[in-house]
Amino acid sequence: MGAPSSIDTDNVARFTAIADQWWDPGGKFAPLHRLNPARLAFIREQCLEHFGRDGRTRTPFSGLRLIDIGCGGGLVAEPMTRLGFEVTGIDAGAESVAVAAAHARGLDLAINYRETTAEALGDEPPFDVVLALEIIEHVTDPRAFAADCARLLAPNGLMIVATLNRTLRSLALAKIAAEYVLRWIPAGAHDWRKFLTPGELGDILSSPGLVTEGPFGLTLDPLSGAWRASADTRVNYLMTATWP
């Protein structure tokens, strides 16, 4: 009998119910559409530096393999493909994977979408880049999940994790305001108790032997509505991890 899955089936069902709205910038996933430019810029800059690629070229990451774990409807997988990565997108929600695959086909983008989990990819060749964006706070066992992600990372690869900090500010903004006041995301989408502090995430990522950098903050400008890189990690932040 295998180890128990770290997938939270109730959470998967919650996102499955609104999977048809992934590509509607005014729909249930509007907050991710607003966040996307900032996190895409962070990923691009980190990968350019790590792999020594020329950002002036149209597809600077040609020849590199990337996996987007918890890819949802493909909001990150598609722009990563345009930058030259050979992209695999995985998600536990069949409906989200179907939406992502259909959207990519409509744009003639070759993305390998699969309804599966990181723990189920034990024999997969390692990836140069492993992305786990806004997903670790949704799993039942973050440490096991991080170990599964680390197993997929090539020796000279780069892992990027994005999540929410467990602070009173994130409780007020990312949970209460976002779900119940502004109704940006479905009620119950987040469990604040599952949010990880940077110290906790760093410890989790170091367990399989990874070396971390960060945290790197992302904050929302209330006037423009745009997200930007920031030293403020009290709500949204990212960390990078590599093998020593």
Rounded Cα distance between 32 and 232, Å, is 19
The tokens describing 76, both together, are 């990150």
Amino acid at 13: A
Assess contact for 143 and 206: CB atoms under 8 A.
Answer: no
Q: 110 is in which domain, residue-wise?
A: 9-242
Q: Identify whether 66 is part of a domain.
A: yes
Q: Is residue 107 part of a domain?
A: yes
- The confidence score (pLDDT) of residue 193 equals 82
Per-residue pLDDT band at 1 (split at 50, 70, 90): very low
Whether residue 2 lies inside any domain: the answer is no
Determine, yes or no, domain membership for 1.
no
**What CATH number does the domain containing 122 carry?**
3.40.50.150
Q: Of 64, 86, 2, 75, give the one whose Cα is nearest residue 32.
A: 75
Percent of the chain with pLDDT over 70: 85
72 within a domain of the structure (yes/no): yes
- Which residues does residue 69 pair with via DSSP β-bridges, in sequence order? 90, 132
pLDDT of residue 28: 76
Instruction: Determine, yes or no, domain membership for 3.
Output: no
Q: Of 200, 220, 218, 212, whose CA–CA distance to 240 is shortest?
A: 212
**pLDDT band at 102; cut points 50, 70, 90:** very high
* Residue 174 per-residue DSSP state: I
In this prediction, residue 27 carries a pLDDT of 81
Q: What pLDDT does residue 180 have?
A: 41
Report the chain's mean pLDDT, rounded to a whole number: 88
* pLDDT reported for residue 143: 97
Both tokens of 43, joined, read 């990923």
Strand ranges, E, within 77-192: 86-91, 112-115, 127-133, 153-164
In whole angstroms, give the CA distance from residue 121 to residue 88: 12
Query: Is 59:83 a contact under the CB 8 Å cutoff?
Result: yes
Q: Do the domain assignments include residue 215? A: yes
Residue 207 maps to a domain: yes
Q: How many whole angstroms separate alpha carbon 100 and alpha carbon 133?
A: 16
Q: If you average pLDDT over residues 54-79, what whole number do you get?
A: 97
Which of 34, 40, 32 lies closest to 189, judged by CA?
Answer: 32
**Distance, C-alpha 148 to centroid of its chain:** 15
* pLDDT band with cut points at 50, 70 and 90 for residue 178: low
Report in angstroms the alpha-carbon separations of 43 from 10, 30, 47, 99.
Answer: 29, 20, 6, 23
Confidence category of residue 29, pLDDT binned at 50, 70, 90 = confident
In this model, does residue 69 exceed pLDDT 80?
Answer: yes
pTM of the model as a whole: 0.89
Number of folded domains that form the chain: 1
pLDDT, residue 2, reads: 43
Query: Considering only 9-23, 99-113, 154-168, 220-234, which range has the smallest mean pLDDT?
Result: 9-23
pLDDT exceeds 80 at position 139: yes
